[in-house]
Copies of this chain bind each other. A is one copy, B any other.
Amino acid sequence: MRNTARWAATIGLTATAVCGPLTGSALAEPAHTPASLYAPSALVLTVGRGEAATAAAPERAVTLSCAPAPSGTHPAPGEACAELADADGDFDALGSETGVMCTREYRPVVVTVSGVWQGQRVAYERVFSNDCMKRSHGISVFSF
């Protein structure tokens, strides 16, 4: 019986030694990895008149969330999220709409994007020489 008790104690200690770190790691996990099943993607896009966001008051601002499902006040969240996924979140790499004719009129608009794309912080700013040029960059993302 004493042997049994000793064994039980040994097994208990071993279990603590093995499981302890596991438990610790499980508790610490949220410190290093996202707590949810998907990396968050939540953005605010703004547009204002001017050559720099610091000088241009945002004329319009929309939200865009792409996970778990496309949503937001953006007029076409589904298309915008699909475009961003295709471009791998690289706003400079958004394709241009083909067959769009824009005048060369210089009336600059500045677009900003802030928030998070697939777990990475985003702070993007780009100036287009006029509103038509903005809309032709990407098809949906900047059409708001």
Contacts and interface: CB of A to CB of B under 8 A. Distances in A.
A58 B116 contact: yes
A53 B132 CA distance: 35
A102 B115 CA distance: 29
Contacts of A120: 57
Contact of A46 (B46, B71, B116): B116
A65 B59 contact: no
A120 B48 CA distance: 11
A53 B122 CA distance: 12
Interface string A53-77: 1000111111111000001110000
Contacts of A49: 30-32
A64 B73 CA distance: 9
A141 interface: no
A36 interface: yes
Interface in A84-139: 107, 114-116, 119-121, 123
A61 B41 CA distance: 7
B115 A61 contact: yes
A103 to B, nearest CB: 15
17 contacts: A30-B59, A31-B49, A32-B49, A33-B57, A34-B57, A35-B59, A35-B60, A40-B62, A41-B61, A42-B44, A43-B44, A46-B115, A46-B116, A58-B121, A63-B63, A63-B64, A63-B115
